[in-house]
């Protein structure tokens, strides 16, 4: 049942002609995005991307993530794993507290004003999660139980890392495709557990707290209920989760997954919710690949509550997909010029992007027929 007493700020938006330039507000970050729909028709003579190869083998003897292969460095051999496989990153972005303590004697003397030249040490742990032994299958090509196993692994790793004494936040993320910085095509994700709460997460936390204090309901619960009423930006939905193109999206086919109840962490999900989340993600990610019939590149990440010794009644588990492609498999969006100097800007409206994705088949193009 939808709540019939939603805040006026969500119920009374001014009428807008979305075909004209306008800007939209992101209540999670407090930022605005400029929307210029008429620019979608402009000719493109810029950079053209290479399309990904579709002849990826199930096993690659040269891949350092495949089962039984030697990892980078030559000292570790992967086990013959048959499901998800987790290991400490061989090239971590962070040092453990122990390694940081050993390196303290090599500190560089600070120069200049302490107010203008601030820095502080950050420690943490970086791990890799391989989705399956198959070198050629991304999340939408896995079975429902296999996707659910990935989700449960992310939850278990979040719980384990979040319990470490110096960890205040665990970021789960996946970079898919070379154009989004993936260093290895074997489908995998990462977890970075840090001794600080990252800037974007802290802003989302503060804005959700402020909204809860003013409305006595979580921001994203009100938002997803309103989006399900309107149905303009929905991509996939079921009883427990909704995937949509957010009203304030910056990237052309950006998507967001939102839980239907306040839940802070992946490991807090029920068995039914894990199954529902696997279902909705497989369907939505199949639509991504079906859009241009390629392995659709993106950066994805879960936003879970911090581990900052505080209760988080404001938090609603959600994740963000940021894909770069705009017009085709070879034309991408760049955040340059005005976007870097003023504010984010997009040409394709969120409503148009959602409609294109929503109308695509749920079944992955490689598995049809």
- Helix, strand or coil, per DSSP, at residue 60: coil
Distance, CA of 255 to CA of 240 (rounded, Å): 17
User: Look-up: residue for tokens 């009203």?
Assistant: 247
Q: With beta carbons less than 8 A apart as the criterion, state whether 33 and 346 touch.
A: yes
Q: What contacts 89, CB < 8 A, 6 or more positions away?
A: 126, 127, 128, 190
Distance, CA of 96 to CA of 63 (rounded, Å): 27
Tokens standing for residue 48: 């053209």
- Helix, strand or coil, per DSSP, at residue 102: helix
Q: With beta carbons less than 8 A apart as the criterion, state whether 304 and 170 touch.
A: yes
How much of the chain is in helix, strand and coil states, percent to nearest 5? 30, 20, 50
Cα 188 to chain centroid, rounded? 13
> H or E stretch including 289?
helix 271-292
Q: With beta carbons less than 8 A apart as the criterion, state whether 185 and 135 touch.
A: yes
One of 188, 303, 320, 364 is an active-site residue; which one?
188
User: Look-up: residue for tokens 């939603």?
Assistant: 6
Sequence length of the chain is: 369
Q: With beta carbons less than 8 A apart as the criterion, state whether 139 and 282 touch.
A: yes
Query: Dihedral, CA atoms, 162, 319, 292, 353, nearest 10 degrees?
Result: -170
* 281 DSSP assignment: H
Distance, CA of 23 to CA of 167 (rounded, Å): 37
User: Look-up: residue for tokens 């997460």?
Assistant: 201
Distance, CA of 203 to CA of 270 (rounded, Å): 28
Q: Is 364 a catalytic residue?
A: no
> H or E stretch including 189?
strand 188-194
Residues with catalytic function: 188
């Amino acid at each position: 049942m939808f709540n019939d007493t939603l805040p006026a700020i969500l119920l009374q938006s001014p009428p807008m002609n979305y075909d004209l330039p306008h800007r939209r507000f992101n209540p999670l970050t407090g930022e605005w995005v400029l929307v210029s729909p008429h620019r979608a028709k402009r000719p493109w003579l810029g950079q053209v991307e290479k399309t990904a190869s579709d002849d990826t083998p199930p096993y690659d003897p040269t891949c350092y993530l495949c089962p039984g292969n030697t990892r980078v460095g030559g000292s570790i051999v992967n086990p013959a794993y048959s499901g998800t496989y987790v290991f400490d990153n061989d090239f971590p972005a962070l040092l453990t507290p122990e390694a940081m303590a050993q390196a303290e004697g090599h500190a560089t003397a600070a120069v200049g004003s302490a107010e203008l030249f601030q820095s502080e040490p950050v420690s943490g742990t970086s791990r890799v999660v391989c989705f399956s032994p198959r070198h050629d299958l991304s999340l939408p090509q896995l079975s429902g139980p296999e996707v659910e196993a990935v989700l449960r692994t992310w939850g278990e790793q979040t719980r384990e890392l979040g319990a470490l004494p110096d960890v205040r936040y665990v970021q789960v993320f996946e970079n898919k495709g070379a154009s989004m910085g993936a260093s290895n095509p074997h489908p995998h994700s990462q977890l970075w557990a840090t001794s600080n709460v990252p800037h974007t997460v802290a802003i989302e936390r503060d804005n959700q707290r402020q909204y809860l204090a003013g409305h006595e309901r979580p921001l994203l619960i009100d938002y997803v209920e309103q989006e399900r009423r309107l149905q303009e930006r929905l991509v996939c939905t079921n009883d427990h989760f909704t995937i949509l193109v957010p009203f304030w999206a910056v990237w052309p086919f950006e998507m967001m997954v939102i839980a239907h109840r306040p839940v802070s962490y992946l490991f807090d999900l029920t068995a039914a919710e894990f199954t529902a989340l696997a279902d909705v993600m497989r369907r939505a990610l199949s639509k991504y690949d079906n859009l241009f019939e390629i392995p659709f590149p993106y950066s994805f990440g879960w936003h879970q509550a911090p581990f900052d010794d505080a209760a988080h009644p404001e938090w609603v588990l959600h994740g963000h997909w940021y894909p770069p492609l705009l017009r085709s498999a070879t034309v991408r969006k760049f955040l340059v010029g005005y976007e870097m100097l003023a504010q984010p800007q997009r040409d394709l409206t969120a409503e148009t992007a959602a409609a294109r994705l929503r109308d695509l088949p749920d079944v992955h193009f490689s598995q049809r027929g």
